[in-house]
Copies of this chain bind each other. A is one copy, B any other.
Amino acid sequence: MDSSVKKNVTITDIAAHANVSKSTVSRVLNDTTPVNEDKRAAVLAAMKEMNFEPNIFARGLASGQSYTIGVVTQNLGSPFYDSIAQGVIAGLAKTAYSPLFADAQWQPEVGKAAVKTLIGRMVDGLIIVGTCPTPDDLEELNQNIPMLLVGTQVKQWPDRCMFIDNEQAAFEATQHLIELGHKKISHITGVPTHEDSIGRVKGYRRALKEANIDVDEDLIYEGNFDGESGVAGVETLLKRKKSFTAIFAANDATAFGARLALYRQGIRVPEDVSIVGFDDQTEAALVTPPLTTIQQPGDEIGIAAAETLLKIINKQEPEIQKLTAKLVVRDSTCPPSSGV
């Protein structure tokens, strides 16, 4: 019945149609060797007329290139990682490359498997966001495949890491609270072993130190970047009966959780307690009160990562851009009153 099964057009068809050899068609396709203008035109015309699309498998098999970039994120749906993914999409949009996303689901083994799958899929390069596999794993997996680590700082590969200065951003977030007059500032951390977390804690501590405020370890709660840990953090702080007038949360989700726990206790934000988050995810501007937070330029990071990786692939000199986060002041912070 179905006589309409279109046989795919191949370069052999194009070659026949344009009266040249396969090689010439391939050369037109790849610009590897000069081709006479007449023939080039004929080939191009034939390709257009016959609606030719090169077979990616044949191409990949012969050339070893897939024109695919693997992107591993901790979690595609997390707002910050999504914005990076969007950036990568944008950065690759005008090129011959497509991104292939994989999700590490916050689990190192899953991340490792994801990298393996991507390598199996012959990606030409890898963008790993948020250090899912350990550096050792990467070393092991590294089949000399161009690789860029985003949001991590691995000492071994200084020129393969692209990250924002978490320490500095956290410093500014904390300083903002200090400048408003806060002295009893709590910090709810992210996953304690996570690079980003560690940097943010450092920045928090440094800001206090520079303002000659003693760091009270009881005001630091170890969270895990989840909303729930924000809730638990505030509950614990309240249980400790330490008074505080402000909270610096390791990310927005944590800030939301903290805000909710305060709400349940009837503690007002920002009148009683100010909150600063980190990420500036979409909802940060919509919650009540709109959240003061650190804006990470996720899309810019993504674009820069894509461009840098392409340079590495093409053996050009990559230049790692240092990207900076900035404080966005909204309504969740104000000068302290009594505190709790």
Instruction: For A282, give its contact among B101, B144, B253, B259 (CB under 8 Å).
Output: B253
Q: Which residue of B lies closest to A262 (CB)?
A: B288
A257 surroundings in chain B (CB, below 8 A): 286
Cα-based distance from A230 to B263 in the complex (angstroms): 22
Q: Does any Cβ of B come within 8 Å of A192's Cβ?
A: no
Q: Which residue of B lies closest to A103 (CB)?
A: B89
CB-defined interface of A265-285 with B at 8 Å, one 1/0 digit per residue?
000000000000000001101
Instruction: For A286, give its contact among B55, B56, B253 (CB under 8 Å).
Output: B253
Q: Within A73-99, which residues are at the interface with B (CB < 8 Å)?
A: 76-77, 79, 82-83, 85-86, 89, 98
Q: Which of A57-65, A204-212, A213-221 contacts B (4 or more CB under 8 A)?
A: A57-65
Q: Which of A117-125, A172-180, A182-190, A311-319 contacts B (4 or more CB under 8 A)?
A: A117-125
A100 surroundings in chain B (CB, below 8 A): 100-101
Q: Does any Cβ of B come within 8 Å of A108's Cβ?
A: no
A287 surroundings in chain B (CB, below 8 A): 256, 260, 283, 287-288
Given contacts A6-B143, A85-B76, A120-B53, contact A263 B289 (CB under 8 A): yes
Cα-based distance from A60 to B58 in the complex (angstroms): 8
Kindly provide the distance from the CB of A235 to the nearest chain B CB, expressed in whole angstroms: 14
Cα-based distance from A6 to B56 in the complex (angstroms): 24
Instruction: For A57, give its contact among B57, B256, B259, B289 (CB under 8 Å).
Output: B57
Kindly provide the distance from the CB of A254 to the nearest chain B CB, expressed in whole angstroms: 10
Q: Interface residues of A, CB < 8 Å — how many?
A: 46
Kindly provide the distance from the CB of A306 to the nearest chain B CB, expressed in whole angstroms: 14
Cα-based distance from A76 to B81 in the complex (angstroms): 10
Cα-based distance from A187 to B290 in the complex (angstroms): 23
Kindly provide the distance from the CB of A156 to the nearest chain B CB, expressed in whole angstroms: 18
A282 surroundings in chain B (CB, below 8 A): 227, 253
B288 x A288 contact (CB < 8 A): yes
B77 x A82 contact (CB < 8 A): yes
Instruction: For A263, give its contact among B5, B285, B288 (CB under 8 Å).
Output: B288
Q: Does any Cβ of B come within 8 Å of A66's Cβ?
A: yes
A61 x B57 contact (CB < 8 A): yes
Q: Which residue of B lies closest to A118 (CB)?
A: B98
A253 surroundings in chain B (CB, below 8 A): 282-283, 286
A143 surroundings in chain B (CB, below 8 A): 6
Most B C-beta atoms less than 10 A away, residue of A85, A103, A144: A103
Instruction: Using CB atoms and an 8 Å cutoff, list the residues of chain A in contact with chain B.
Output: 5-6, 53, 55-58, 60-61, 66, 68, 76-77, 79, 82-83, 85-86, 89, 98, 100-103, 117, 120-122, 143-144, 227, 230, 253, 256-257, 259-260, 263, 282-283, 285-290
- Having A77-B86, A227-B285, one finds 8 other A-B pairs with CB under 8 Å, namely A55-B61, A56-B120, A56-B121, A58-B61, A76-B82, A76-B85, A253-B286, A260-B290
Provide a sorted-by-A list of 12 A–B residue pairs whose CB atoms are within 8 angstroms: A53-B120, A55-B122, A56-B57, A56-B121, A58-B61, A76-B101, A77-B77, A77-B82, A77-B85, A89-B103, A100-B100, A283-B287
